[in-house]
Amino acid sequence: MDERGKPGGKQPNPASGSGDGGTPPPPKDPLLLGPGLPGPAAPVKAHFPFPWNRVALLMPAPVPDAVACISLDDKLWLIELKGEKPRAVEVDDDYVEQVSGGELHAMTPLPGQLAYLQTRGLILYDLKWQKAQSWIVANSLEEAAARGEWVTREPMVVAVELEDTSHYVTDDRTDYRLRTFRLQGEKRVALGAVELGSVKNAVSWDAGAGLVAVQKPGAGLELYGPELGKPLPEHPLALALKKLSVDGLTVQSLRLHPARPVALMALGRETQARGPEGREPEAPGVWRVAWGAEASAPVRLARYATGETATINALSPEDDWVSYTLEDTTKRQLYAQQVGATPGKPLALGAMPVSGVELLWTGGTTSLVMYDAGKDALTLWRLEGQGGAKPATPAK
C-alpha cells in the first residue's frame, strides 16, 4: 500500500470514472487532499470593476459580501459581491496624505476597521465613522514595513516585519527584523525585536493568540511572548508540536488564531520515511491545536502525501474558515475548510495559478475571493453552509 492508501502499481479503473479525462471518484478518506474531494457550488466569475493599473491595494473587509480596494486616484472603495456582478462603492478619499502612495500591504481587519501598512506606518480605518488613525512602526527612514500581523486584538499588539536598507549602498545588503508594538490611543509602545537576517523571506513567522512564532532556516520553530524575549519551549503549543513531529515530519506552515488559543499547522516531509517497529509512518497533514481555556487533543484536519507542500493562508474575518494551498512539482491546488471547535471536512476549490493572484475573505456570509490582476478577474466561492456535495470546479 502506498501513502495514499492505494495498492502500489495498480492503475485506475476507467469504468469508475477515474480514467483519462474523467472526474476522479471521491476518495474513501474524506480528509485526504486531492482533486476528487467534494467542493462547494461552482464559483462566480466576474470582471473586477477596475483595471489592474488602477488598483493600489486589495484587502479583506469586515463587511458582509465585500472586499476593500484603494485605487491609484487616492480613493477607498468597497467592492460589493452580493450579485453576479461586482459593484464598486466609494467610501472615502484623501483621508490621509497620499492615500495610495508608498508601499501598501494588507492586514487582517479588526471588527469594523480596515487595517494595512503604508511604507513606515500602520493605518486603521473605521468604516462606520469614516476616520483613519495611524502609527509609525519604523525607526528610521531606511526602514519600511513589509508585513503585519496582530499578536492580540485586545489590547492591540502588532508584529511588523521591516526591511532595513541602511547598508544597501555600502554593503549591497538589506536587513530584515521583526518588531512588536502595543498601540494605545495615539501612542505606540515598542515591546521587542528579533533579527531575521539579510535574505528576504528566509525566515517564516506568524503572530496571534498572544504569541509570535519564528522559524529560521535549519532550525526548529520557536514561540515568543509579545515582548519577543526568551523562547517558550514549555508552552502547550510547543509541546504539541514536538509530539506531532514524528517520522520525519517538520513544520511547513503555521497560522496562529488572532484572538483565541488556537493554532493551525501543516507538517510534511520531502522523502518517504519508515515508522518505528515496521508500522506505517504518520502521514503529512494539517492539524488544529488548542490550549488554555480551549485545551483539547490535537485534531487532524487533513492529510496529504510525502513530497507535497502545504501553505496555510489567512483566516476569515470571523476566524472560522481557512484556505490552504497544496503543491508538488507539477501542480498547485486550493482548498478551504471550516476550522472551528467542530471542524468541517476540507473542500477542493480546484487548480490555482502559481503566481499573479491574491486570496481574500469577505465578511459576513463566508466567501473566498481570488483576484487575478492579469485578467482583471474575480473568482468567488460561497462557502457558508456548503456541504461539499459536488466535485470541485477548477479556477482557470
- Residue position matching grid coordinates 469614516: 130
Cell (9 digits) for 384: 457558508
3-state SS track over 192-215: EEEECCCCCCCCEEEEECCEEEEE
b (16+ CB within 10 A) / e for 8-26:
eeeeeeeeeeeeeeeebee
Task: Burial-class residue 189 by CB neighbours within 10 Å (0-12, 13-18, 19+).
Answer: exposed
Q: What local confidence, expressed as pLDDT, does residue 24 receive?
A: 56
pTM (predicted TM-score): 0.87
Is the distance from CB of 56 to CB of 358 less than 8 angstroms? no
Task: Burial-class residue 346 by CB neighbours within 10 Å (0-12, 13-18, 19+).
Answer: buried
Q: Kindly provide the residue ranges of all beta strands, DSSP E only, lying in 137-174, ordered along the sequence.
A: 143-152, 157-164
Q: List per-residue pLDDT tens for the chain, 396 residues long.
A: 334 444 344 344 333 333 444 555 556 789 999 888 999 988 999 999 999 999 999 999 998 899 999 999 999 999 999 877 999 999 999 999 999 999 999 999 999 999 999 999 999 999 999 999 999 999 999 999 999 999 999 999 999 999 999 988 888 899 999 999 999 999 999 999 999 999 998 999 999 999 999 999 888 899 999 999 999 999 999 999 999 999 999 999 999 998 889 999 999 998 887 767 777 889 999 999 999 888 889 999 999 999 999 999 998 877 689 999 999 878 899 999 999 888 999 999 999 887 889 999 998 778 999 999 989 999 999 987 764 333 344 444
Q: What local confidence, expressed as pLDDT, does residue 347 receive?
A: 95
89: closest CA among 115, 69, 60, 62?
69
Q: What local confidence, expressed as pLDDT, does residue 353 receive?
A: 85
Whole-angstrom Cα distance, residue 337 to residue 320?
A: 9
Whole-angstrom Cα distance, residue 263 to residue 223?
A: 12
Is the distance from CB of 349 to CB of 395 less than 8 angstroms? yes
The gap from C-alpha 14 to its chain's centroid, in whole angstroms, comes to 37
Q: What local confidence, expressed as pLDDT, does residue 26 receive?
A: 57
Q: What local confidence, expressed as pLDDT, does residue 18 receive?
A: 39
Q: What local confidence, expressed as pLDDT, does residue 2 receive?
A: 39
Whole-angstrom Cα distance, residue 32 to residue 39?
A: 13
Is the distance from CB of 249 to CB of 284 less than 8 angstroms? yes
CA torsion 191-195-199-201 (nearest 10°) is -40
Is the distance from CB of 43 to CB of 395 less than 8 angstroms? yes
